[in-house]
A and B are shown apart, each in its own frame.
Chain A
Amino acid sequence: METGIICHRPQNYPLYIRSVPTENELKFHYTVHTSLDVVDEKISAMGKAMVDQRELYLGLLYPTEDYKVYGYVTNSKVKFVMVVDSSNTALRDNEIRSMFRKLHNSYTDIMCNPFYNPGDRIHSRAFDNMVNSMMMQVC
């Protein structure tokens, strides 16, 4: 089970939410929403030191009983949050990192679309497909 979510920086509202399975989605909303506290904290902690060469991958944000929450922040402060089932031990840090990188690339593609308004919710088939394939791979 996994959710890929992007939040926009200034207002912290979701740009894209995807979860499998779809029931009990509100729970994910809460999980991801509260994880933003940690993201904020991590950014503010590292932000001052090296803005340019900082690591975009934030690592495990916090573990709960059932899920692990990972975070990633782009330089423009767009946040990616991934929630993975705790029992899924196949996923190592490296895999998560590469998944985030893929997500980031895909997001960059969306931003290159001249018809996309930065800050709007993402409705892109390419992005959907990419997320789907990523989830398929994990589950």
Chain B
Amino acid sequence: MSVPDYMQCAEDHQTLLVVVQPIGIVPEESFFRIYKRISAVSQVNVRDSQRVLYIRYRHHYPPENNEWGDFQTHRKVVGLITITDCSSAKDWPQTFEKFHVQKEMYGSTLYDSRLFVFGLQGEIAEQPRTDVAFYPSYDECESVEKRIEDFIESLFIVLESKRLDRATDKSGDKIPLLCVPFEKKDFVGLDTDSRHYKKRCQGRMRKHVGDLCLQAGMLQDSLVHYHMAVELLRSVNDFLWLGAALEGLCSASVIYHYPGGTGGKVGSRRAQGGSLSAEAGNRHRPGALTSNGINADTSAEIGRAKNCLSPEDIIDKYKEAISYYGKYKNAGVIELEACVKAVRVLAIQKRSMEASEFLQNAVYINLRQLSEEEKIQRYSILSELYERIGFHRKSAFFKRIAAMQCAAPSIPEPGWRACYKLLLETLPGYSLSLDPKDFSKGTHRGWAAVQMRLLHELVYASRRMGNPALSVRHLSFLLQTMLDFLSDQEKKDVTQSLESYTAKCPGTMEFITLPDGLKLPPVPFTKLPIVRSVKLLNLPTSLRPHKIKSLLGQNVSTKSPFIYSPIIAHSRGEERTKKIDFQWVQGDVCEVQLMVYNPMPFELRVENMGLLTTGVEFESLPAALSLPAESGLYPVTLVGVPQTTGQITINGYHTSVFGVFSDCLLDNLPGVKTNGCTVEVIPALPRLQISTSLPRSAHTLQPSSGDEISTSVSVQLYNGETQQLIIKLENIGTEPLETLEVTAKTVNTKEKLYGDFLSWKLEDTLSQFPLKPGKIATFVVNIKVKLDFSCQENLLQDLNDDGISVSGLPLSSPFRQVVKPRVEAKPVNPQESSKGGDFSHVKTLEAILNFKYSGGPGHIEGYYRNLSLGLHVEVEPSVFFTRVSTLPATSTRQCHLLLDVFNSTEHELTISARNNEDLILHAGECQRMAIQVDKFNFESFPEPPADGTQYANAKQLEEERQQAKGLEINSKLDIWEASVEGVLNQLVLEHLQLAPLQWGDITCGIFPTVIDTRITSFFSSPCKSLFCI
């Protein structure tokens, strides 16, 4: 007895063992088809009695186990069914001979046997024989079941006769001693007449009869016999058989208590005879109602109830029996099987702790050297039993050992496939699933150190199986889910081996389906690198689309009839969290910024990183990046071009790390911050590029209204100078440019600006429209600067102190008196005066030119783009009038205006005034010039319409002052050169004023004192400026 049957359970004690075997050459498939049909007949209701026979079929049974048949009769092969394929009558004798040989094998124990011959037809088949049945083919054998039932009935008859034969207590006869194979030699030479020996024989026989009763379906009798056997054997200390008797008692009690069975395969085994077993169950119940009222044999019921062990006793007796078995080394298999049986019973009783003790004991039972296959079987069954009592971890542990055994180095051909399969079965025990989603949220589940080990084993097994895709998948899973638990060295090792695997078989995002139907979900590397935030970026300002505001404002919602409702506002608020308030444009490169970091202790190369989108056809332009070891947050910008219009949703990104392609969906990423992932893509718009004739400016304008300047240019001009700015408009997009609007805005309004700063003629440019892609149009802007430098106090003071000015005039230093109130009059910009000093007299003007343009499909939808050009103009003073004085002219209506002109530039310049010859001024030179002007009347001059308000204010503030008059003169004379204003004084004013007494026909006012001052630089610079006084 060396081969344990791990599948045994207590009910097997009531079964008859029948071996079904093929002889000759029988196709395996056909044999098992017949075997299946035969084994379906597992319960037979014996004719004329209520008893049920249970049959256990085996297609393989070691004869040495058969030798233990006397010890426990269910181990005895009582029936043999052979199946053979015999095509011609010629082979028949030979076949029949083989049948006999086969019979010899189990000969000593067989009650009966049958031979099923398939394929033979003819006269031999015609002969009616009881032990041989002929069938023409495997498909035409309807009567197999019937035959089997007959066969079992014949077995029953033999069994019953044996039972009766042994049960009748013929005290006179000598009872033979039943013994197990290893005992035989122990009894040689024993005194067969001693009382001790006789008792032993009696006890063993009782036990044997109990077995037979149980098999014959007489539970009650068997219990009685077992009890008697226990008594007898206990008195003679025949421990092995005492154990067997106790076990028999347990088995019978188990059968009584648990008619549903304790074996695992209850469903399949009992299903066919469902009604039958229910009936059988009923029969076992004490005092159960049968069809003819209360069971007649009540005494038997009572007796049975008395004899039967209680559930607790069953376990105690099992323990006792096992301890007796344990005394015999050769009964190891019996002990092991008893343990297994007891565990199954305990599993049903839900007494896991005790069951685990039995199992623990079973682990330590030393059988002879087991073959590898047996070891695997043993570990698997231990695992299964642990599983049954709810010890999943223990179960997983043994299953893993079984798996390792499959691939033990001692096995010449390691069964990696089997090993892998078993390893997969251990996963639940280690609370591992192969779906990375289970690990993405919350804390880690399960025991990481053990899980890691298992995953490594899975990787190795799958690699040895020759399935690199599987090992890549498992290795990726290991890296993804166990990243926090891997040491730096392990991280390196794992990634290295991953890379070497993926060199042969790159990791994909497809499900891997195993042959047994298990699906391995893909493992996206969401932690390599870890993404912390995803932010959709707006287009650069110059490319941002704007909606032309229609008359019907967008506020009027079409969804609701209400103008305002808090409910709608609420839902809109929710929508807004997901939707972004800017748009992307079809055909333009759009960007998404990810903040990523690399958790690995080495440089991480991420290739082919791109966006995953839905809603709109999107051409993703993948990026490759290399993140330094354990980098901090690192911005990565992924770009793509939407090809159609509509709503686009960024679902995630795809990467390729270590040769594994992964699609990471944002929904599955924990702790990712995002500002919304849905954005609208509007139809394509043209793109405009501006290039100008002027150099680019280093200055960036700080615009007030929030719109950014794409480019800015700078130019340096002398006060009063005019320059042309030629702007080249190039359509670099793919859509025709259809409309263009240009507006200008002066940013720096601190300076008093005279005249048009910027002027252009749009018509010339628009005539070139629509502008086809790639075409260039030009646009000319005139820049003219006229600024007031009158407050350059420092400068003038310097001039005075230096004594450059011409003296001898009746005004000594009027400057300060006059200027002070002026400064007070302009409190709006107090920094200016201080700033003026710092900037060494240079004033800056800043303006923004806005180009609104549109075209193509986007234009139809009502979108336009805005391109801004910043203009930075630095204005240097050109000439100052340091002093003004008057001299009476020959006519009373006229006077000479004497102006001290100072050239503050570094160039030589020419001043030409009306009626005067040109005055050439060298750099830094000051000269006086005289202009003859008409006197005029202050009272009657009209308010200038353009700058009226400013002047009016000034006038009000300084009404009592003469200064007002100075202002008036300025405007009247159209002198914007403020230096004049600065140096005017009472005296000069008086000179300028018409005498109160004048003769009649004075027409006042029109005063054509336009002095064309031409400044010509005589140096290399060819600039020409026009001064107007």
Contacts and interface: CB of A to CB of B under 8 A. Distances in A.
Interface string B418-435: 000000000000110000
A34 B394 contact: yes
Contacts of A41: 352-353, 356, 390-391
A37 B391 contact: yes
A11 B394 contact: no
Contacts of B449: 14, 17, 25-26, 29
B446 interface: yes
13 contacts: A11-B443, A12-B445, A13-B443, A14-B448, A25-B449, A30-B450, A33-B393, A33-B430, A33-B447, A38-B353, A38-B391, A65-B364, A119-B443
Contacts of A65: 364
Interface of A, helix, strand, loop or mixed by DSSP: helix
B114 interface: no
Contacts of B146: none
Interface string B354-371: 001000100010000000
Interface of B: 352-353, 356, 360, 364, 386, 390-394, 397, 430-431, 443-450, 453
Interface hub of B352, B386, B449 (most chain A Cβ within 10 A): B449
Given A11-B445, A13-B445, 13 more contacts: A11-B443, A11-B446, A13-B443, A13-B444, A17-B449, A25-B449, A26-B449, A29-B449, A29-B450, A29-B453, A30-B397, A34-B393, A41-B352
Interface string A11-38: 1111001000000011001100110111
Interface residues of A, number: 21
Ranked 7 nearest A-B pairs via Cβ: A37-B391, A11-B445, A34-B394, A34-B393, A29-B449, A37-B393, A41-B352
Given A33-B450, A34-B397, A11 B444 contact: yes
B353 A14 contact: no
A38 B443 contact: no
A54 B390 CA distance: 23
A29 B392 contact: no
A13 B447 contact: yes
Contacts of A38: 353, 356, 391
B446 A62 contact: no
A45 interface: yes
Interface hub of B352, B392, B430, B444 (most chain A Cβ within 10 A): B352
A12 B392 contact: no
Given A29-B447, A30-B450, A62 B393 contact: no
A102 interface: no
Contacts of B453: 26, 29
Interface string A41-74: 1100100000000000000001001000000000
Interface of A: 11-14, 17, 25-26, 29-30, 33-34, 36-38, 40-42, 45, 62, 65, 119
Given A37-B392, A41-B353, A41-B391, A12 B446 contact: yes
Contacts of B364: 65
A29 B453 CA distance: 11
Contacts of A45: 353
Contacts of B391: 34, 37-38, 41
A12 B392 CA distance: 13
A13 B352 contact: no
A29 B394 CA distance: 12
Contacts of B431: 11-12
A13 B481 CA distance: 14
A132 B300 CA distance: 67
A36 B390 CA distance: 11
Contacts of B390: 37, 40-41
Contacts of A34: 391, 393-394, 397
Contacts of A40: 390
A33 to B, nearest CB: 5
Interface of B, helix, strand, loop or mixed by DSSP: helix
B445 A36 contact: no
Contacts of B448: 13-14
Interface hub of B364, B390, B393 (most chain A Cβ within 10 A): B393
Interface hub of A11, A14, A37, A42 (most chain B Cβ within 10 A): A37
Contacts of B360: 62
A38 B392 CA distance: 10
A62 B359 CA distance: 12
Contact of A12 (B352, B353, B356, B447): B447
Nearest to A65: B364
Contacts of B353: 38, 41-42, 45
B360 to A, nearest CB: 6
Contacts of B397: 30, 33-34
A40 B356 CA distance: 13
Interface hub of A30, A65, A119 (most chain B Cβ within 10 A): A30
B483 to A, nearest CB: 15
Contact of A37 (B394, B446, B450): B394
A36 B393 contact: yes
A17 B364 CA distance: 28
B426 to A, nearest CB: 12
A40 B395 CA distance: 14
Nearest to A31: B397
A33 B394 CA distance: 8
Interface hub of B390, B431, B445, B447 (most chain A Cβ within 10 A): B447
A60 to B, nearest CB: 12
A13 B446 contact: yes
A45 B355 CA distance: 14
A42 B444 CA distance: 24
Nearest to A25: B449
A65 B363 CA distance: 11
B445 to A, nearest CB: 5
Interface hub of A29, A33, A41, A65 (most chain B Cβ within 10 A): A33
A5 to B, nearest CB: 10
Nearest to A120: B443
A37 B429 CA distance: 10
Contacts of A29: 447, 449-450, 453
A65 B444 CA distance: 32
A14 B430 CA distance: 13
Contacts of B393: 33-34, 36-37
Contacts of B446: 11-13
A42 B356 CA distance: 12
Nearest to B350: A45
A25 B392 CA distance: 21
B761 to A, nearest CB: 71
Contacts of A11: 431, 443-446
Contacts of B394: 34, 37
Contacts of B356: 37-38, 41, 62
A14 B448 CA distance: 8
Contacts of B445: 11-13
Contacts of B450: 26, 29-30, 33
A29 B447 CA distance: 8
Contacts of A30: 397, 450
A129 to B, nearest CB: 24
Interface hub of A11, A12, A34, A62 (most chain B Cβ within 10 A): A34
B772 to A, nearest CB: 65
Interface hub of A17, A40, A42 (most chain B Cβ within 10 A): A40
Nearest to A32: B447
Contacts of A62: 356, 360
B489 to A, nearest CB: 16
B448 to A, nearest CB: 7
Nearest to B355: A41
A117 to B, nearest CB: 10
A19 to B, nearest CB: 12
B794 to A, nearest CB: 64
A38 B397 CA distance: 14
A119 B393 CA distance: 21
Nearest to A63: B360
A62 B358 CA distance: 12
A16 to B, nearest CB: 13
A42 B364 CA distance: 23
